Amino acid sequence: MQLISIIPGFQPMTDRRLLDKAAVLTPALVYTEHPVPVRCALNGEEMTFEALASRPLSRGDQAVLDFGHHLVGRVTLSLDCAGSHQDAPAFFRLDMAEIASELDEDAEAYDGWLSRSWIQQEKLHVDLLPARISLPRRYAFRYLRLTVLDTSPKYQLLLKEASCVSESSADPEALPERHFADSRLNSIYEASLRTLKDCSQQVLEDGPKRDRRLWLGDLRLQALTSYVSYRSYDLIKRCLYLFAGSRFPDGRMSANVFTDAEPEADDTYLMDYALMFPLALNEYLEETGDHEALGDLLEPALEQVEYVLRHGMTADRTVAPEQASSGFIDWSDGLDRQASLQGVLICALDAASSLCARAGDEQRRCRYAELAQSMRDAARTEFWSDERGLCVSGGQVSVHSQVWMTLADVMTGETAARAMDAALAAPDAPPMGSPYMHHYYVMALLRAGRREQALDHLRSYWGGMLDAGGDTFWECWVPDEPRTSPYGGMIVNSFCHAWSCTPAYILTKFFLTT
């Protein structure tokens, strides 16, 4: 599934008033210096950085620096030379990696559909040593590898200092102290918060390595996690205003917004992402009671459901099959998304009804509540199979359909739980491909009353990323296929990714002990 949209001449609709309010909410970044790597190796030999700094480096030597945990920030190197006079530039390559196994990837072999310019690799010439080099780009990494491409027979390179100044808008002082049932859950909780912190920049980025921008499906999950941790209310509000302030000309919300310069909606529309906006807004209002946001954002939120009601429905009150390609749901090739999108729409209608109740609009509150119920009834008729005891979408069984039918209350309790179990066991069912989908699977288990199964899945799935070398959570993780990439090569995968940060939310909301 290639997620690329190109609309020639695309010009988003701009609401200057909303974008100006978003600009006022831009957070300050907190900078933290990390002056010395905690572990190092030279050509595979482990040593302290102090020992490495005294070792002359020649052509082919490789020094790997481990900063101890994931960082998002800017790197500075201090270099010198040993031997005779420097008679040629020092030429070396830097590779930054979020996890150690990323260093095993061959950047030259990557031929996927995402731009190779996202690969965190630099080649530098330094004409005069000693030198202090501050790299201009921001990187997301834990490991830095320096490979000497050449010096000359007359001199060698010395790496005297290596440091990083990390940046994030998340306030660590806001974090309450919490403890869970065992050390593994505590480790998962801490990695979850680190993931959110490193994605918290001047917007809630989907990934600080790549794409470094604001995606709507990710935003909802980041916001939920922030409410139980950093409580970055202004940042969340800023992101909501950015989505409402730059939209498709017909009022639809883009799946993502570019924010580095003037905010501008991308020309990518994903039905389920757009429908997350009323859900995210309603949850923000539940948390804050922000009447200004309700007044400014109610109509843009309702427009997202109204567009689908006008353009995406059959006469039988189900999402039209031909609209299924306009949804994301998960990285899963061959997935039939019709039933899942029906579930997302029902959840969005429930949120729209709640938003209208907050605004005192009883007529529209009733309308959306009635539409939600009629679409539940239609879903039971269209998708539920008594014979199989689960939902079938386009002739296909998937856990995705069961999850969203459960979250939409089309089926409940043990009926829902057994349907999810049956779909997972179905031999031809497409697997879940992302932590985004695994989050909703856990939430559906909780909604169906399967608390222990939900906790076990959280422990094994997110814990599996820690076992595989992560200290933040990833964009893509298929335990049986650890090198899976939706892009054609895992070197461009994001290993600190917004939609993976939710264990802290789930654990705090449902399993907090102290």
Q: What is the pLDDT of residues 61-91, one digit of tens each?
A: 999 999 999 999 999 999 999 999 999 999 9
Answer yes or no: is pLDDT of 261 > 90.
no
Q: How confident is the model at residue 212 (pLDDT cuts 50, 70, 90)?
A: very high
Per-domain residue ranges for the chain?
31-168, 170-199+432-514
Residue 514's pLDDT band (cuts 50, 70, 90): low
Q: Confidence class of residue 223 from pLDDT cuts 50, 70 and 90?
A: very high
Neighbouring-strand partners of residue 152 = 155
Quote the mean pLDDT of the chain. 97
Q: Do 234 and 27 contact (CB within 8 A), yes or no?
A: yes
Kindly report, residue by residue over 362-379, the tens digit of the pLDDT.
Answer: 999 999 999 999 999 999
The correct answer on CATH 2.60.120.260 for the domain covering 31-168 is: yes
pLDDT over 70 (residue 29): yes
Over its C-alpha atoms, the chain yields an Rg (Å, rounded) of 25
Measure the CA–CA gap between 157 and 79, rounded to whole angstroms: 7
* pLDDT reported for residue 401: 98
pLDDT of the residue at 33: 97
Quote the pLDDT of residue 6: 86
pLDDT at 230 over 80: yes
- List CB contacts of 202: < 8 A, sequence separation 6 or more: 26, 27, 29, 169, 259
Distant-in-sequence, close-in-space partners of 132: CB < 8 Å, separation ≥ 6: 76, 77, 78, 79
Segment 94-101 mean pLDDT:
98
Going by their DSSP bridges, the two strands 256-258 and 62-83 should be labelled as unpaired
Structure tokens at 156: 């060698």
Token pair for residue 446?
A: 């909780």
Predicted TM-score of the model (pTM): 0.97
Residue 4 confidence class, pLDDT cut points 50, 70, 90: confident
Are 140 and 98 within 8 A, CB to CB?
yes
Q: What is the pLDDT of residues 292-350, one digit of tens each?
A: 999 999 999 999 999 999 999 999 999 999 998 899 999 998 999 999 999 999 999 99
> Quick check: 71 and 155 in contact, CB under 8 A?
no
On whether the CB atoms of residues 126 and 482 are closer than 8 A, the answer is: no
Tens of pLDDT, residue by residue over 399-416, are 999 999 999 999 999 999
